[in-house]
Amino acid sequence: MKTPLKPITRNQQNHTVSLLHQALAALGFSVSQKEVSKSIAGKNTIKKVRELQAKLKVPVDNNFVVDEATALAISKELVDQGLTAAGHSYKESGLVQLANGAFKKR
């Protein structure tokens, strides 16, 4: 199974951590707003990941917040709960103002 999550280390700060926060929230393990707003894998993120690892019976590798096995387990859980299905997508429509000032419906 391919997963957008990659291994994450303590205090890592990037888009992968933001994806982790989104996945954790979708699975009912919301992380503190402070860490979410900074996209950082801090103490609260680690706590929530450890809780999820226990629930999913994934062994903990203390060298990582999320290792390969955990990333795969999270992806599988999201799929199993139907949280990655196309039914969760949406489409936006509206008016776009063109460079010449005219409006076009999209």
Please write the tens of the pLDDT for every residue from 22-74: 999 999 999 999 999 999 999 999 999 999 999 999 999 999 999 999 999 99
Which DSSP symbol is given to 88?
G
CA–CA separation, 19 vs 75, rounded Å?
Answer: 11
* DSSP sequence for 9-48: -TT-BSHHHHHHHHHHHHTT-PPPHHHHHHTB--HHHHHH
What are the tokens at 63? 């060298």
Every domain of the chain and the residues it spans: 15-105
pLDDT given at position 77 = 95
